[in-house]
Amino acid sequence: MDQKLKDQLMEQSKYPDDWKEDIWGRLEAQMDREQGDATSDRTQPMVAERQEPEAKPQRANNMNNKNKHQGMRILKIWVGVAAAAVAITVFLSLPAGTAMMNSVKHWFEPEKKIEIDVEGQKEETNGQVHVDETSDYAIYYDKDRYKLIEGESKDVITTIDPIPEPYPQVSLTIEQNVDVLPEQLAAELAEQLKGQYARVDAVERVTAPVDGYLIHAIDGSDRLSKVTNVYVVSNKKQGSFILSSAYFLEAAEGHGSRFYHTLEQFEVLEEE
């Protein structure tokens, strides 16, 4: 068994380590037994040949071949059972909606550690994955600070506990327009924001935290002034994803920075 494949399957499967080691241990033991049987079989015809040089060797050879074939069948069964067990485990460990989406390349860890920079300090967060099978995207978000609310037309990441007044609520909204390409849609959204914010910056082409277009808008200079960053990225088809972070000016280096790093974890799932 190829060591790389073994390591990969064992790493991705969710069986306890002792179960996985037991499966591979049985495989190796079976292979050792088959090798031992083959060695033993090779010596038996020699003894038989000395007793009955004419008739016995042919029978011994037939029995030897039969044992080898039987051994191979047993080994194949063990390989099949072990491979099926690991494959089923990997299949079931896939987040909802990804099991049949494309292939194993769309497998995501349910949770992972993510290092971010907040207010000049390095911080490790506990990221939880959300895979949307309808819109074909995946994203990790800080599960200790935020929750993800799924909607019919958009998903919203917001604080677990509502922020008390007079502070504006903060959120990161993910929605999709399947008919308009990013450049055109960004221009249209910029026009819409001009009626909602005191200042709307010109559309900017960016490569971070996502590859697309950015419209930055702010409604005043007070510490509680509303701020939004709207990113428009390709959905890898004929449309766009709209990723909108909303917070207040005082929270720019807090929630604003956290949303920026959350968007670094955004990924469009392409169909093969």
204: phi > 0 → left, psi -120 to 50 → alpha, else beta; which? Answer: beta
109: confidence class by pLDDT, cuts 50, 70, 90: confident
pLDDT for residue 120: 81
Domain count, the chain: 2
**Structure-token match 């599960």, residue found:** 143
Give the chain's mean pLDDT. 76
The pLDDT tens digits of the residues spanning 82-94 come to: 444 444 444 444 4
- Looking at the domain assignment, is residue 115 inside a domain? yes
**Does position 63 have pLDDT exceeding 90, yes or no?**
no
160 and 85 in one domain? no
pLDDT for residue 192: 96
What mean pLDDT do residues 39-60 have?
44
228 and 196 in one domain? yes
What mean pLDDT do residues 207-227 have?
97
- Looking at the domain assignment, is residue 195 inside a domain? yes
**What are the contacts of 76-85 at 24+ separation with CB within 8 A?**
78/26, 78/27, 78/30, 79/1, 79/27, 82/23, 82/24, 82/26, 82/27, 83/9, 85/15, 85/23
**Does position 263 have pLDDT exceeding 90, yes or no?**
yes
- Looking at the domain assignment, is residue 170 inside a domain? yes
177 and 81 in one domain? no
**Does position 188 have pLDDT exceeding 70, yes or no?**
yes
Q: Give the residue from 268, 272, 186, 271 showing the smallest Cα distance to 235.
A: 268
**Does position 199 have pLDDT exceeding 80, yes or no?**
yes
User: At 234, which CATH number?
Assistant: 3.40.1000.10
**Does position 224 have pLDDT exceeding 80, yes or no?**
yes
What mean pLDDT do residues 194-202 have?
96
**Domain that residue 220 falls in:** 104-268
